Structure 1
């Protein structure tokens, strides 16, 4: 074999350098996936109308004489139309925690019995894996407490700015819940929280 064409093994130092460069690239890619630093410069605006009750289907009037009338066709004056306005169960302004956050969180109960959290005039930072929670921990302060307490997850944050509604599961027990939290599930930090004291 011609010595000039013989393949020589790469020097050990070059192998170490290539291995280190590959490792750095993997770590950078993993860091970009996890932290998504570009989200510091992105926003998502949402503009949802306040939640409304689902219209119930009209009930059968039933047999004659059971419609609440007094026989003259006039409804009983004692019966009043139920209000179609939601009941405010709790409301509070956001407190900044890991990222500057402002706006209002309101817990509403609609005439049909459904409950919702409405975030109004929200302004916070974007980030990976953001969710909305109701928790039994006080708003503000150390965010590690939220993982230790009781919470109800309401889904992913729809937008960093604006107004949005989050339906509360029908079977959720809200007794003792005290705050609404914007929670980064990937890093277990609260961006902000609002006292609602249910």
Structure 2
């Protein structure tokens, strides 16, 4: 009986410690980036209006899909977002991601950023770019991509 109580106590301590260390408010780097698409070898494939805020964040800037040497890339331009944990960049068929491609972790909360779209993904099938907190399933912001 004492062993069960001790095991339960250890498990509770581990869960509390994991929750405390895994729940950071600000986990995305904040140094502004200035990544660029080379206009000589890249052709714009889409336009977007400005980002719209989701229920959990403030996002500004725009997104555009480019075709560079046979591969699609998503460029975030003049971009800023409020910070949060586990922020990802998605292209999605919907404003709230159901059918989406995760392009990876957000590199920074500000600046110009470029993300590769995996080979075999037809970017034209995805009408939105999203900033999404994967850990808590929270939409920070979105923009419509017009091809």
Q: Which residue of 1 aligns with 2:71?
A: 114
Structure with greater contact order relative to length (CA < 8 Å, sep ≥ 6): 2
User: Relative to structure 1, is the Cα distance of residues 175 and 129 closer, same or farther in structure 2, using a 3 angstrom cutoff?
Assistant: same
Q: Which residue of 1 aligns with 2:30?
A: 44
1:100 alignment partner, one of 30, 54, 58 = 58
Q: Which residue of 2 aligns with 1:30?
A: 18
Contact kept, 8 Å, 1:43 with 1:125, in 2: the verdict is no
Deviation at 1:185, TM superposition (A): 1.0
Using the size of structure 1 for normalisation, the TM-score is 0.60
Q: Which residue of 1 aligns with 2:113?
A: 164
Q: Secondary structure at the match of 2:46?
A: strand
2:132 alignment partner, one of 167, 179, 183 = 183
Q: Number of aligned residue pairs: give it.
A: 142
- Give, in whole Å, the separation in 2 of the partners of 1:46 and 1:86: 25
Contact kept, 8 Å, 2:117 with 2:123, in 1: the verdict is no
Q: Secondary structure at the match of 2:124?
A: coil
Which is greater in Rg? 1
Q: Secondary structure at the match of 2:18?
A: helix
4+ runs deviating over 3 angstroms? 21-28
Unaligned runs of 5+ in 1: 1-20, 54-82, 139-144
More strand by share: 2
Unaligned runs of 5+ in 2: 1-8
Contact kept, 8 Å, 2:87 with 2:106, in 1: the verdict is yes
Using the size of structure 2 for normalisation, the TM-score is 0.79
Deviation at 1:32, TM superposition (A): 2.4
Q: Secondary structure at the match of 1:121?
A: strand
User: Relative to structure 1, is the Cα distance of residues 133 and 178 closer, same or farther in structure 2, using a 3 angstrom cutoff?
Assistant: same
Deviation at 1:188, TM superposition (A): 1.1
User: Relative to structure 1, is the Cα distance of residues 173 and 25 closer, same or farther in structure 2, using a 3 angstrom cutoff?
Assistant: same
2:143 is the counterpart of 1:194: yes
